[in-house]
């Protein structure tokens, strides 16, 4: 065996404690950041609060100027291709994405974090593509065959490879994710149960008689499936034990109140974005401590270490605030129609589009928007709500179409409710072409019964 030594030049970046701290600050919500800063003020005498100015909202202009003066800009970090450090991940991957991002409120982020332990980078990339085309319940916003063809063209893969990854998602730890229908979601969950006569009958009920199952028509199920009534009842109980949605809830429940991280108001003919300065204290380096340390005799290594720690914290907070403001500014500009006209005007928008607009990686946008809330004239809600999946074959989002369906049903005559196919026809006249089953899916998501169940007899004259 012949041994040899070969020199290889590679470009990378070390994830220093300071960089790790900056990344962690990105994902902190307003209450978490306030707790972090309060603890830092207690343990580090080099920090002090800014009591000179009245604490309030911080405009995007002021926040950006302060970040440029006090911090190294986030964009000065190497490109994502260099962050991979020459590993097996692709050029579009970010090594920062491999750092634990905590418990995100976005179910897609939580699922991808679980899959990252044993899935390859290519499989994760395809899985993320599928998840971006699911609604909040984990159901696909389109036909699997058409979506697989679209994904194959977008990712440079094959439709068969995309469908194979979708099947892995369906049968994975979150059984039923990326299902094309409620029946497929339930069947995937049933497949995870041990084989038994109850499971076999439940699978037949879901696959062949889901409407009778939804109506709890035990007699019809027993007659059509030629099964005993008691067996049908046991299989029905098994189906009812399944989750109505494949999406796993977060481990920690949110508190009853929400503190917005940013606010947006319509002033002077334009939408203005500002940080909620009342949510977190504003910190700075104590000038007298820094001056005294510069002229202090003897070994001051401990105090200089505290000063460096304080500087990195101030810079990290400035970077976090600047990134948050720039991200929200893009979200507000792209979703101006939603802010002005409501849910029906929400535009399709993805993490990649926002990341490209601010010149950052998708993982950074995901961190800075997860768990963050925005206060608007239309209410206070999570930033993730401003992202929406484009409906296949249309220039509108699935969320906008769902709002259209709700408005049509709210305006229907009580004695003559609109059937699903009629709603699909009305939407087609407006240029939104969706199938009847898609209307039924949106109606189920809105907890709206069928037209027959909504029908109320007209009052006699």
In the 3-class helix/strand/coil scheme, how is the chain assigned residue by residue?
CCCCCCCCCCCCCCCCHHHHHHHHHHCCCHHHHHHHHHHHHHHCCCEEECCCCCCCEEEHHHHHHHHHHHCCCHHHCCCHHHHCCCCCCCCCCCHHHHCCCCCCCCHHHHHHHHHCCCCCHHHHHHHHHHHCCECCCCEECCCHHHHHHHHHHHHCCCHHHHHHHHHHHHCCCCCCCCECCHHHHHHHHHHCCCCCHHHHHHHHHHHHCHHHHHCCCHHHHHHHHCCCHHHHHHHHHHHHCCCCCCCCCCCCCCCCCCCCCEEEEEECCEEEEEEECCCCCCEEECHHHHHHHHCCCCCCHHHHHHHHHHHHHHHHHHHHHHHHHHHHHHHHHHCHHHHHHCHHHCCCECHHHHHHHHCCCHHHHHHHHCCCEEEECCEEEEHHHHCECECCCCCCEHHHHHHHHHHHHHCCCCCCCCCHHHHHHHHHHCCCCCCHHHHHHHHHHCCCCCHHHHCCCCCCC
> Is the per-residue pLDDT at 318 higher than 80?
yes
Q: Are residues 381 and 287 in the same domain?
A: yes
Those residues whose C-beta lies under 8 Å from the C-beta of residue 432, and which sit 6 or more positions away, are: 391, 394, 396, 401, 404
Q: Domain range for residue 304?
A: 20-78+283-291+299-389
Lowest mean pLDDT among 116-125, 202-211, 246-255, 374-383: 246-255
pLDDT band of 5, cuts 50, 70, 90:
low
pLDDT value at position 398?
72
> Sorting pLDDT into bands at 50, 70 and 90, what band is 57?
low
Residue 238 has pLDDT above 90, yes or no: no
To the nearest whole number, what is the mean pLDDT of the chain? 77
Note whether 386 and 335 are within 8 A (CB): yes
pTM value is 0.53
Once rounded to an integer, what is the mean pLDDT over residues 379-397? Answer: 74
Distance CA 3, CA 17 (A): 37
Residues 385 and 330 both lie in one domain = yes
127 domain-assigned: no
Q: Cα–Cα distance between 59 and 263 in angstroms, integer?
A: 10
> Is 104 contained in some domain?
no
Which residues face 49 on adjacent strands? 283
Task: Answer yes or no: do 444 and 367 share one domain.
Answer: no
pLDDT tens string 133-184: 888 788 888 889 999 999 999 888 899 999 999 999 998 888 889 998 888 9
Instruction: State how far the Cα of 441 lies from the Cα of 419, in Å rounded to an integer.
Output: 13
Output the CA–CA distances (angstroms, integers) from residue 203 to 169, 173, 180, 401, 440, in the order listed: 19, 19, 16, 31, 22
> Is the pLDDT score of 437 beyond 50?
yes
pLDDT single digits (tens) 354-380: 989 999 888 888 888 888 899 988 888
> What are the φ and ψ backbone dihedral angles of 146, each rounded to 5 degrees?
-65, -40
Mark whether 314 and 378 lie in a shared domain.
yes
Please tell me whether residues 342 and 429 are part of one structural domain: no
For residue 270, pLDDT over 50 is answered with: yes
Q: Average of pLDDT values for 401-427?
A: 83
270: exposed, middle or buried (C-beta count within 10 Å: 0-12, 13-18, 19+)? exposed
The whole-number pLDDT of residue 395 equals 62
Q: Provide the pLDDT confidence category of residue 297 given band limits of 50, 70 and 90.
A: low
Looking at per-residue pLDDT, the higher value among 24 and 393 belongs to 24
Q: Is 122 inside any structural domain?
A: no
Summarize the confidence of residues 333-341 as an average pLDDT.
Answer: 87
Do 311 and 221 reside in the same domain of the chain?
A: no
| pLDDT(103) > 70 | no
- Asked if residue 90 is part of any domain, the answer here is no
Mean pLDDT of 105-115: 78
* Average pLDDT, integer, range 31-58: 75
Percent of the chain at pLDDT > 90 equals 7
CATH number at residue 417: 1.10.10.60
68-102 pLDDT tens trace: 433 333 443 333 332 333 333 343 444 444 444 44
Q: What total number of domains does the chain contain?
A: 3
Backbone angles phi, psi at 134, to 5 degrees: -110, 150
Please determine, for residue 67, whether its predicted confidence score (pLDDT) is greater than 50.
Answer: no
Question: Percentage of the chain surpassing pLDDT 70?
Answer: 76
- Stretch 432-440: mean pLDDT: 79
Per DSSP, what are the bridge partners of residue 58?
A: 275
For residue 250, the model assigns a pLDDT of 57
**Lowest mean pLDDT, pick from 151-160, 267-276, 292-301, 310-319:** 292-301
Q: At 395, phi and psi to the nearest 5? A: -100, 20
* Candidate from 11-20, 37-46, 130-139, 341-350 with smallest mean pLDDT: 11-20
**Looking at the domain assignment, is residue 321 inside a domain?**
yes
pLDDT, residue 460, reads 47
Tell whether the model's pLDDT for residue 328 goes beyond 90: yes
User: Domain boundary residue among 354, 372, 389?
Assistant: 389
CB contact set of 302 (below 8 Å; sequence gap of 6+): none
Last-in-domain residue among 389, 411, 430: 389
CB 46 within 8 A of CB 285: yes
């Amino acid at each position: 065996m012949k041994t040899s030594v070969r020199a290889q030049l590679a470009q990378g970046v070390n994830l220093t404690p300071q960089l790790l701290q900056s990344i962690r600050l990105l994902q902190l919500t307003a209450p978490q950041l306030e707790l972090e800063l309060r603890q830092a003020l207690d343990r580090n005498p080099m920090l002090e609060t800014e009591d000179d100015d009245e604490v309030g909202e911080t405009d995007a202009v002021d926040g950006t100027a302060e970040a440029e003066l006090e911090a190294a800009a986030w964009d000065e970090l190497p490109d994502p291709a260099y962050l991979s450090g020459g590993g097996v991940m692709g050029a579009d991957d970010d090594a920062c994405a491999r750092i634990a991002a905590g418990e995100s409120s976005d179910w897609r982020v939580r699922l991808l974090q679980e899959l990252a332990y044993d899935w390859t980078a290519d499989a994760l990339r395809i899985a993320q593509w599928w998840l971006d085309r699911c609604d909040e319940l984990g159901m696909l916003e389109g036909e699997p065959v058409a979506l697989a063809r679209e994904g194959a063209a977008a990712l440079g893969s094959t439709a068969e490879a995309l469908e194979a990854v979708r099947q892995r998602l369906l049968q994975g730890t979150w059984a039923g994710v990326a299902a094309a229908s409620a029946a497929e979601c339930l069947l995937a969950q049933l497949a995870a149960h041990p084989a038994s006569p109850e499971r076999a009958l439940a699978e037949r009920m879901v696959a062949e008689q889901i409407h009778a199952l939804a109506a709890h028509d035990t007699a019809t199920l027993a007659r059509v499936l030629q099964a005993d009534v008691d067996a049908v009842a046991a299989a029905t109980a098994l189906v009812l034990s399944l989750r109505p949605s494949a999406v796993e809830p977060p481990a920690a429940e949110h508190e009853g109140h929400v503190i917005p991280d940013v606010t947006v108001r319509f002033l002077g003919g334009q939408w203005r974005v500002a940080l909620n300065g009342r949510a977190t204290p504003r910190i700075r380096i104590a000038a007298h401590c820094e001056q005294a340390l510069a002229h202090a005799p003897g070994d001051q290594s401990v105090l200089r270490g505290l000063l460096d720690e304080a500087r990195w914290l101030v810079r990290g907070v400035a970077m976090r605030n600047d990134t948050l403001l720039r991200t929200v500014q893009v979200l507000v500009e792209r979703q101006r129609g939603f802010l002005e006209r409501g849910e029906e005007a929400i535009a399709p928008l993805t993490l990649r589009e926002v990341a490209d607009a601010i010149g950052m990686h998708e993982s950074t946008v995901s961190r800075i928007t997860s768990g963050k809330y925005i206060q608007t004239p239309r209410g206070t809600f999570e930033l993730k709500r401003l992202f929406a999946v484009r409906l296949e074959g249309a220039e509108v989002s699935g969320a906008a179409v769902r709002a259209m369906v709700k408005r049509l049903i709210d305006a229907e005559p009580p004695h003559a409710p609109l059937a699903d196919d009629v709603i699909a026809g009305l939407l087609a006249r407006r240029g939104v072409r969706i199938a009847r089953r898609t209307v039924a899916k949106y109606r189920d998501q809105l907890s709206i019964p069928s037209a027959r169940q909504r029908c109320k007899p007209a009052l006699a004259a």
